[in-house]
């Protein structure tokens, strides 16, 4: 791991550690904001994945989201499964941002300005998480390896075909 990744991952994860701890401590207060999003998302997820056990209670949903963020932030900060943890944090950040920083609902200009700033800060963090989610650390990704393996297989098949044709000609010449 490079020094940049060694420093950047914990920095990126730090906001989720603080946010997760805050959400665990203040889950009942945050549940009201969370319900505005979860009232739409939970029914959709239940239709999409009927077997998925989803909590109905907004307080529990806030706590589950906080636990997921803490676990994924810990994994990202320590470099364990950084692509997966970055993806999980990105997915969990979207509803958190929409529920927590809905600046379009604010009437007070100062609150609106503060919520807009927080919303776009989270959008920036989402960009960093997306980069972390696709970072292969300089190693070829799965798509490149698949293309490379397919090219090598085609090359080997052509070589084997030429060799087989040459051997068949030699065998035919010896039979005459």
**pLDDT at res. 48:** 86
For residue 33, pLDDT over 90 is answered with no
pLDDT tens for 104-152 read 988 999 999 999 999 999 999 999 999 999 988 777 877 888 898 999 9
Region 4-18 average pLDDT = 93
123 and 97 Cβ atoms separated by less than 8 Å: yes
For residue 26, pLDDT over 80 is answered with yes
pLDDT tens for 94-104 read 988 988 888 99
Name the percent of the chain lying above pLDDT 70: 99
* pLDDT, mean over the chain: 90
For residue 42, pLDDT over 90 is answered with no
Residue of 112, 119, 113, 95 whose CA lies nearest to 35: 95
């Amino acid at each position: 791991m490079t020094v940049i990744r060694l420093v950047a991952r914990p920095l990126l994860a730090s906001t989720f550690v603080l946010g997760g701890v805050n959400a665990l401590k203040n889950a009942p207060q945050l549940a009201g904001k969370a319900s505005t999003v979860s009232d739409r998302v939970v029914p959709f997820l239940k239709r999409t994945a009927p077997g998925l056990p989803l909590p109905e209670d907004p307080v529990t949903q806030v706590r589950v989201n906080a636990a997921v963020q803490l676990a994924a932030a810990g994994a990202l900060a320590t470099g364990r499964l950084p692509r997966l943890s970055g993806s999980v944090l990105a997915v969990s950040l979207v509803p958190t941002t929409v529920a927590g920083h809905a600046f379009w609902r604010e009437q007070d200009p100062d609150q609106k300005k503060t919520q807009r700033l927080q919303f776009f800060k989270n959008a920036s963090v989402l960009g960093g998480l997306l980069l972390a989610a696709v970072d292969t650390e300089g190693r070829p990704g799965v798509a490149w390896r698949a293309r490379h393996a397919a090219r090598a297989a085609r090359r080997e098949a052509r070589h084997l075909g030429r060799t087989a044709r040459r051997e068949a000609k030699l065998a035919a010449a010896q039979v005459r």
